[in-house]
Each structure stands twice: as structure tokens, then as C-alpha cells.
Chain A
Amino acid sequence: MPDVQSTVVEFVNKLRKRKIEGSQATAKYTVELLRSVISHQRVPHANQAAALIDAVKAVGEQLIAANPVELAVGNVVRRVLHIIREEDLSLTTAAMGGLDLLDASDDDDVDNCKGIGFPAMSAAVVAAAARSTLRPPSLQTLLEGTPESATVPYTSSSGADSESKTADKSSLTRKLKHDVIEGVNQLIQEIAGCHEQIAEQAIEHIHQNEVILTLGSSRTVLEFLCAAKEKKRSFRVFVAEGAPRYQGHLLAKELVARGLQTTVITDSAVFAMISRVNMVIIGAHAVMANGGVIGPVGVNMAALAAQKHAVPFVVLAGSHKLCPLYPHNPEVLLNELRSPSELLDFGEFSDCLDFGAGSGSLQVVNPTFDYVPPNLVSLFITDTGGHNPSYMYRLIADYYSADDLVM
């Protein structure tokens, strides 16, 4: 435990000082950290799930407080909590006696249906399997609880099931922890593989001789465009540079290195160029529960320009970016003001920056993010496929349990 504690402190420090940037990297670190927290957590005989939940929550709160702007941390913490709850539920129901499961769980909410559907399997594994096989996922299959894939797990587990009634608590404990860790491993894989999952769909969206506009730099967008290029699609990319950090320059460099036709434009030229563009693709920092997007500063402008010219505005987001919170929640800190020296070097204008000097003062505001309301987004592409903004809440309900929304 002590070494876990010190890694937690270390990670918290890094988050505070904004040493880890990018939601994928943050999500990866967070989930790995939580896995080691769970594996080191000593579980009491009674109520093991609660102990795990408490441990994860305690660490999670520290992490969220360390960088409230990086929503991916909170998302991953809530995902892990959800995994624990699901595993616990599936185990207890299994222990209560396998056969009358479905009746007993009728009053449970919809989320848990699929977990109960395959009692002996690790619920999250099943859920993940369901998600990947069901692309595009249909609400119907989930609601009706009659999945085609149900044939996969059932055969082997039904025998073992009845015995687990009599199995002693300790093995049950070990099983819970084991299952949870398995579920978390699944999540790690999912986060690591989200770029490929999203990029696989590129071919369906990018067509021959199209012009794509993107803004700022996003690894997901890079992989997405390159995947289309590898499938021999020929298209052109406009990159808005993304002032003041100019990450668009880096993206453009990478794209050119991989042989794409790339043009760099200033952010302010987006409106002028949009009429030649067939599709706007951007990477999100976070996707809120209402389908609104938090992205690099300037994105809202691009979205409005796209709407004006009826250009599809497509947002790429790995599932770890889906946030169960709503943007109008005052507790959610959506933006971060960075150092003004990214705009103005120290020294330039320093005479007017010294605002004590009587005559008016120059204030420099350097926000990091922008908010795009859901009605401007045409399509979300996540690792589970393409979705409408209005469908986001549904996806989120799959991933998170309502108990964890308020930490």
C-alpha cells in the first residue's frame, strides 16, 4: 500500500503541474493507477465491493481535485467504479442462486440487465463483448435482453454456478477482485486501442477527392486521416494552426511526413476556406452528457462556419472522453486560463501590462478550451461507431452508474 500511495502522490503532482497533457495519456495513467490501487487494496470479508469502491473513490477524488479541467480523469474513475458495481452485482446474484435471476432483477435498472444476462461471466467483459459485436449498437437489443451473442458464455458456466452458492466467502472475495481487475484490464485495452478503433471507420467517412478541415492537433484525427490515406483514398487536408499554441503546425508536419496533401491556414481564415471544405473533423477534449463538445479554442468558430455552409462537423472521441456531467453544472470547471506569455512575449507591451501605472491596463486572457453546443455537431465517431449528438446520453448511461455522478 505505501508504494501505491506514493505513486498516487506522484501522479497527483504531475496532474497539478499540468505535466501530463492530452486526455488519452491521462486516462491511461489514471486507469493503471486505479488498477494497482485495487490490487493492493485489502478486502474485508463482508461487503468487499463497498471497500473497493471507497478505496477507488478516495484516490479518485484526489486525482479529480488535482486537475479538475482534465475530465478524462473523472471519467475513468467513474468507469472503474461502475465496473466494480457491476461485478459485485453479478456475483451476488450468482451466489443467491442462479436460476431465478431474471425475476429477481426485474426492478433493477436497465444498465444491469446485460450483466444479469450472463451471470457467470465477468459482467464488464460481456458488456464489452456485446458492445464490440453489436456495432452499430442498437438500443433494442440491449433493452430486450435477447442478444445473439448469449450463446457464447452460457454453456460452460452454468454448472459451476450452482456450486458457487456454497463456495466460501474468501474465494468469493478473490473472485470479485479478480473479476474487477479483469474488467479494468479490458478498459485499459479499450483506451489504448481507441485510436485504431476510430481510425478503422475512416474509410466510411472520407471519400475520394474530398477536402477535410481540422483545427489544432489531435492524435485521433491524425490516425483517422492516415488510416484513410492508407486505404488509397486521395484527399486534401486544411489545418487551422490553432493559435496561440500552434499545435496545428505540428499536425501539419506529421501529415506531410505521411504523404498527405496538407495546407496550413490561420484560424481566422477558417470562414474563408469553409466553402471549399467537404467535412470538418476535429478531436475533442471531452464530450459532455448533452452531446456538447469541449475542444481546443477556436473550435466553436469553426463549427459555426461549418453550419453556415452546411458542412458536416464531425467530432472524434474515444470512449474515455465521454463525460457523464452536463456543461451547465457550475461545479464542472470547463476551462483553464493559461499564461499570457503564449500570446505576448514578456517585454512586448510590458509598459501597458504594468497595470498599476495609472493609465488603463492591458489584460491578456488565454483560455485553453472552447465549447461547441450539440446542435452544431453532425456526428460523433467513437470507438463503438458513429453516433448522433442526441444519442450521447444513452452511451453514457451504458458506461457509468448514476450513483457515481457526484463524487
Chain B
Amino acid sequence: MSRMRWLLKSVAPHLTSTKRGFCTKQEQIVTSVLFERLPVVIPKIDPVVYAFQEFSFRWQQQYRRRYPDEFLNKSNTRGKGDYQIDYVPAPRITEADKTNDRKSLHRALDRRLYLLLYGNAYGAPNGEPVWHFPEKIYESEETLRKCAESALHDVLGDLSHTYFVGNAPMGHLVIQPKENAKEISPSKRFFFKSQVIATNKFNISKCKDYVWVTKDELLEYFPEQAEYLNKMIIS
């Protein structure tokens, strides 16, 4: 009896190891995309750094060479012309910041924003909508990066304003299936990094809802994986 079992195992291992029904592969591979919008404005400057720079400037001015005033004022006297390029600088805190409109890309201009979708995801309990990254199950494309690109393509419609950084994933999570999930085998989720290029608005389809969030807000949406995401995403 045990010999038969051993033979079976060596010839067709999956027939004996799975006690439950319908999963065929040993592991599912899911690619998810971390779609980020890079900061539009430089970050705030630490007041200590500012103070030191200002102090050092004034200290060095004490020892400067004194040039004649008419030489220093030459730039003012030469005709400026009507260039019409003066402007009132736009405020760094936009209206989207004040209203906390998470769907707009104009929020938090000095930080990175990441895309999150709300809908049916792989590994969701009972098929309920859940907050997740844009993802796709790997079937049989050539590389994982192409799978990730098709995942983003489904969400956005076209990839002209995206840039995938490198061929390799930036992190992976091994997800143990929960009890009330449809899928049963443990799955590996690989994250790919891609960036928004030169655009302000996107048409996000294929999901019920979407948000653009900063890193802190992102960690709220994923309470269990917060630690790993903290390491994977810098600010």
C-alpha cells in the first residue's frame, strides 16, 4: 500500500498532495504594479539648514572684495525690454489638498502619490471588493514585466504616459490563502515599479473606485502588510 502511494507520488505528485478540489498549479504568480507620480515641487527645507546657509553667506560677505558700485549696477541700467515673463507663483498647497480630494493628481505636490484600486482582487475573501494595487495573474507571457504592463494597460487604457523602471520586480509577498478565499494555493505577489510621465489626468477604468494616496495613507489601506510596504516604499 505504501509502495503504491510512493509510486503515485513520484509519478504524479499533485494528485496525492492536494486533498481538496480544483487547484492545479503549485503556486500562483500575481504581478501587481506600484504606479507612482513623482513629486512636482521640491520638498520643504529644514530650518536649521536654512539658518546655517544664511549665516555662512553673511559671514563670507564680511570678507568679500569691494567692487565699485557702478560696476555692480550695470545689469540694472541696460534696457530690460518687455519680456512679459513675470508671474505670480502658484501656491504649493493646492485646492485638492484643502478638500482632501484623493482622486486628483494635484494633491501633495512635494510627495509621491501611488495608485490604489477598489474592486475585485485576486485573493479577496468571498469575492468582495477590496483596496488593491493594479494586478494580473501570470499566465504564459514571456516576462513578468509584460504581464505587469498588461495589468496597467487594462486599468489605464494606454501606456504612453507610463514608464516601467527596469525588468525586475522590486519586492514580493508570499500570501497564504485564508479560509474563506476562493483560491487555495499559496500565491506570490511580485511588485513592479512604474512612474507617471508628463500628464495630469488619467482615465481609470475596470474598477469601482480609485485613489491616489501618499505613503502614510497607503499604509492605512493595508493594515496587515504595512510593515513590508513600509520597507518597500520610501516616503
**Is A bound to B?**
no
Interface, chain A (partner B; CB < 8 A): none
